[in-house]
Structure 1
Amino acid sequence: MTEVRIIRWSTDDLALLQALNTPEVRAHTGGPETDDQVRARHERYVRGPGPRSGNMFAVVAPDGTKVGSVGFWPRDWHDEPVYEMGWAVLPEHQGRGVATAAVRAVVAAASAAGDRRHAHAYPSVDNPASNAVCRRAGFTLLGETEFEYPPGSLMRSNDWRIDLTR
């Protein structure tokens, strides 16, 4: 299994967020954002944790290279307070287990927060890589759902859930 660390998002991570803002990386999440949107997202991440910023982390490879982002944030889903999880990995580091290792690490961080029983991830049904990450990280597939992302746009997603109390 690939080993990575996650470290709290910092002011130094703007370049990483910009590098993740490509058509290839954002193909299943509404496409690339504008420079202003990326900077605003970065500022939210730096301010976090919080309701709009969540708990965001940079994914760090064993050699110290930052290779992606991962995080969790509160939301209500079917009248239950849960965490939503999301991640992105630079193309040159995809397919090596980096995302799965990062998601396992962020599941542990969400579990340690201790205030939610479940976390969910909502990858597009057309995103086999992210669905595989959910399966490999121990999530249970609950089925397909309509999910709003980006805001104002509905997408067909899989609803994956993991129990944070196990």
Structure 2
Amino acid sequence: MSEILLRPWSGGDLDLLRRGNTADMTTHLGGPETETQVIARHERYLRFWENDEARSFTMVDGADSVGAICYWKTTWHKEDAFEAGWFVVPEAQGRGVASIALVLLIDDARARAEGRRLLTALPDKRNGPSNAVCRKAGFALVGNRFETFRRAELSMNEWIFDLSI
């Protein structure tokens, strides 16, 4: 593995979303999206940079795009916060890519906090790797909740990271 970098999401990253939209890759998200939904997500990621609503990045390992990581404005327990989400393509999993990318994302979120103190992550309780990424990056596990996403009932862990320290 070479050095993991984050670069802004670009027009050429649509295929990366398709690679992350398999049944195996979305098992903890209620299943894959339709092609129309994937294209809409790609366009949304591009707009994020235009309207400063959120930040979406491609994880790059050398010359290879190996995943995506994003954060967006949200409200967590009545407090303005950011929420993060990510995926790493199967051939790059198990090498620490997401952990490195999340630390880089934390740095970016901290620099753009605009009064937001918390970065949250809500991985499925059964998603061991994503929960381990949160733990390794210094997030605190503070609870769990149920939510409907893509017509599936998800049981998620609530992780928070204090951007002010």
Report deviation, 1:45.
Answer: 0.4
Aligned-partner residue type, residue 83 of structure 1:
F
Unaligned 5+ runs, structure 1 = none
CA deviation string 1:71-123 (max 9, x = no partner): 10001111000100000000010011001111111111111102210010000
Contact 2:53 2:73 in 1 (8 A): no
Unaligned 5+ runs, structure 2 = none
Q: Look up the match of 1:65.
A: 64
Report deviation, 1:153.
Answer: 4.2
Q: Secondary structure at the match of 1:130?
A: helix
Aligned-partner residue type, residue 158 of structure 2:
D
Q: Secondary structure at the match of 1:155?
A: strand
Q: Look up the match of 2:24.
A: 24
| Alignment RMSD (CA, Å) | 1.9
Q: Could you tell me the TM-score, scaled by structure 2's length?
A: 0.93
Alpha-carbon distance in 2 for matches of 1:91, 1:58: 15
Contact 2:30 2:154 in 1 (8 A): no
Contact 1:24 1:91 in 2 (8 A): no
Change (3 A) 1:44 1:4: same
Contact 2:72 2:82 in 1 (8 A): yes
What does 1:43-58 correspond to in 2, within 5 Å? 43-49=43-49, 54-58=54-58
Contact 2:121 2:134 in 1 (8 A): yes
Alpha-carbon distance in 2 for matches of 1:42, 1:17: 7
Aligned-partner residue type, residue 3 of structure 1:
E
Report deviation, 1:25.
Answer: 1.2
Q: Percent identity?
A: 41
Q: Secondary structure at the match of 1:67?
A: strand
CA deviation string 1:53-85 (max 9, x = no partner): 621000000x22000000100011110001000
Q: Look up the match of 1:159.
A: 158
Q: Could you tell me the TM-score, scaled by structure 1's length?
A: 0.92
Alpha-carbon distance in 2 for matches of 1:16, 1:94: 14
Contact 1:2 1:98 in 2 (8 A): no
Alpha-carbon distance in 2 for matches of 1:122, 1:29: 11
Aligned residues: 164
